[in-house]
Amino acid sequence: MKISTTKILMMLLLVASSTIKSQDDLLSLVEEPEDKKPKKVYATFKTLKIGNAQTTETVKKKHLDYRISHRFGNVYDNTTKNPLNDAAQTGFGFDNASDIRNSLEYGILDNLSVGIGRSRLNRVVDGSLKWRFLTQTTNFKIPVSVAFFGSMGYTHRPTSDIYAGVIKNFETKEAHRVSYVSQLIIASKLNNAISLEILPTYVYRNFIKESVNPDNNSADVNGFASIGFGGRIKVTKRVSIIGDYYYNLGSFYANNPNIKNPLSFGAELETGGHVFSLFFTNASGLIENTYLPFTTDSWSKGQVKFGFSISRTFAL
């Protein structure tokens, strides 16, 4: 039986294509296509902080972030005799400054940055470190990003201010001026619009003034834990709603009428190289060392302050 040349060529092509396909199938077992590899999630949040709370974002390697943060006075206070008139006399808080802060943060690596800043409230100079050691992936095999944030604050207030109201029968120590904050930041970008985070936190102050919770007679202690919650909801390409809240743990803070939990709520605006965070909060301080243990104002009493942060990043 004769076999035509055309049939022979067709058979050879079929065998060749089958061999190539088999090779491709074997390669697919040992090589994962580049576009199928899990990709890291970037920009879970747009900037280093929400309102009060830190985020998992760090300054990029060899970049410097300069930030100006401002906290005004109470917009309103219904505990005064004439709240509306008192509010108008201070320009609804704009005549007063609860706290002002200038800070610099530098990226050592893309996931590791260090910072230094100075706050007007309590005259605190602080140094900080933020290390994001786990990054979320787009396929949610790693569902969260996790960062460690640590801060040490030093107050340069006069000694008379530090020990004011204290029966001083002990030695003056420079260490009494120092406080510490340690924090884990666990965040997830659920989709293109919503990002959420939780922040287990521990605060330690080397020196505290004696204070008692009148509700349960529990005394204040040097160290206490707090847990924070934060979120960002993107409403347009450049505008987001932001908010965060901290709940202080421990018997001294439980139903204490003199100490409140910090809450902030506002908006975030992106304009080119600038990111503006505009929000309202009951916290007077701008750093964890001050706003976690010392927030005394209440949203329910209208004791809310307007605050903002403006940041600019420079490539070095």
pLDDT in tens, 193-244: 999 999 999 999 999 999 999 999 999 999 999 999 999 999 998 999 999 9
Q: Say if residue 6's pLDDT is above 90.
A: no
Looking at residues 125-131, what average pLDDT do you find? 98
Contact 252, 220 (CB under 8 A): yes
Q: What sign does the dihedral 28-29-30-31 (CA atoms) show?
A: positive
Residue among 220, 299, 310, 302 at smallest CA distance from 262: 299
Q: Say if residue 275's pLDDT is above 90.
A: no
Contact 297, 93 (CB under 8 A): no
Give the confidence band of 310 by pLDDT, cuts at 50, 70, 90.
confident
pLDDT at 19: 46
Contact 152, 116 (CB under 8 A): no
pLDDT at 13: 45
Q: What sign does the dihedral 198-118-264-300 (CA atoms) show?
A: positive
pLDDT at 3: 52
Integer angstrom CA distances of residue 106 from 67, 128, 135, 288, 313: 12, 10, 20, 20, 9
Q: Say if residue 49's pLDDT is above 50.
A: yes
Angle at 244 between CA 240 and CA 248, to 5 degrees: 175
Q: What sign does the dihedral 58-306-101-256 (CA atoms) show?
A: negative
3-class state of residue 18 by DSSP: helix
Buried b / exposed e over 61-80, threshold 16 CB at 10 Å, is eebbbebebbbbbbbbbeee
pLDDT at 4: 57
Give the confidence band of 270 by pLDDT, cuts at 50, 70, 90.
confident
Q: What's the predicted TM-score (pTM) here?
A: 0.86
Residue 39 CB partners (closer than 8 Å, separation 6+): 137, 138, 139
pLDDT at 37: 77
pLDDT at 15: 47
pLDDT one-digit tens code per residue, 148-186:
999 999 999 999 999 999 988 999 999 999 999 999 999
| Strands (DSSP E) found in the chain | 63-74, 97-109, 112-119, 124-134, 145-155, 178-189, 194-205, 223-234, 239-248, 263-271, 274-281, 305-315
